[in-house]
Amino acid sequence: MSRRWVSVGGVRIGAGAPVRVQTMTKSRNTRNTPSIIKEIRKIYRAGAELVRVAVPDDEALHALPEIVERSPIPVIADVHFSPKLALGAIEAGAAKLRINPGNIRSKRDLKKIAMTAKDRGIPIRIGVNSGSLPPAVIKRFKHPTAEAMIAALSDSVKLFEDFGFADLVLAAKSSDVRITIEVYREMHELFGYPLHLGVTEAGLPFEGAIRSTAAMAPLLLEGIGDTIRISLTGPAEREVQACWELLRSLGLRERGVKLIACPGCGRTEIDIQKLAQRVKRKLARINRPLSVAVMGCVVNGPGEAKEADYGIAGGEGKGVIFRKGEVVATVSENKLVDTLVFLIKKDHPE
């Protein structure tokens, strides 16, 4: 964890605070305020604690105050190239500003942005990306190596510190897992600021989740990282779900149902995948930390999943429901999921 902390709309980041879950809206048009608000509410229900919104033009900037006001979670304005839009986003009430000094290069403009943010009391995330390093850095290092990314970030940090601005969050995004790990370990040693973890252009849900986990899990287990985003092609709420699954799997935070499902084998006499998907869907709104097992064999199911809070094991048209490894009911296969959900909601009323 970082040695410093910042507050983003009242959400504390760094210096012992929990690792925060962040995502970014995917709606094509930030100017479409109702669509953006609808999306933000969906990701909020999924567990997002911070949301980043692209501000690519004046129309998007015009929509930002209403988005900020109606959002249930702090809104981070994502601005590239335009100092004017960055300053406007601060004035519009964004809880945090994300910029890339690789594409806003004027020191005078950056200083004005920093001083305006300081007056408003909002942090700035300096996001260095392997695909948009400053020309001088590329000329020096030839390729976007870990060393090149650290050099670019160090220059930016020094610049903001010279401005007297210290409410920084740092990020260095690469699509290469090994470079990501190397860069963040170095950042952790060099800087005391909160770090945002992520892999840029991670990919489709299956590949993207694996790639992001491969990069972030080692870092998080070393205490490196204060906010995370798992970038996936697809709905933003899936990014949030993936983040929570990662944090839950590492024992760093708990929220919602941890689903355990057997892979299936020659003894399996039930459609495990279909059953597990139904259980996951039915319990999606439960935020209380619980573990639920879905097993395909009544012989070993309860024993193999005895550490789970609840579970089901099916076969030959019927199945058992268990709590903490103890069988509490035997029902027909078509009633397994509904009976399990009823039991859980009875034990844990919202």
Q: What is the DSSP string of 41-85?
A: HHHHHHT-SEEEEE--SHHHHHHHHHHHHH-SSPEEEE--S-HHH
243 is in an annotated binding site: no
Distances (CA, A) of 42 to 4, 38, 253, 339: 31, 6, 21, 27
Q: Side by side, which strands form the sheet with 50-54?
A: 168-173, 124-129, 96-99, 75-78, 50-54, 20-24, 227-228, 196-197
- Total residue length of the chain: 350
Q: Would you call 149 exposed, middle or buried from its count of C-beta atoms within 10 A (0-12, 13-18, 19+)?
A: buried
| Alpha carbons 346 and 350: distance in angstroms, whole number | 9
Q: Give the span between the Cα atoms of 92 and 135, in whole angstroms.
A: 31
88 contact partners, CB below 8 Å, separation of at least 6: 55, 58, 61, 64
Distance CA 310, CA 283 (A): 12
Would you list which residues are annotated within the binding site for [4Fe-4S] cluster? 262, 265, 297, 304
- Binding residues, by number, are 262, 265, 297, 304
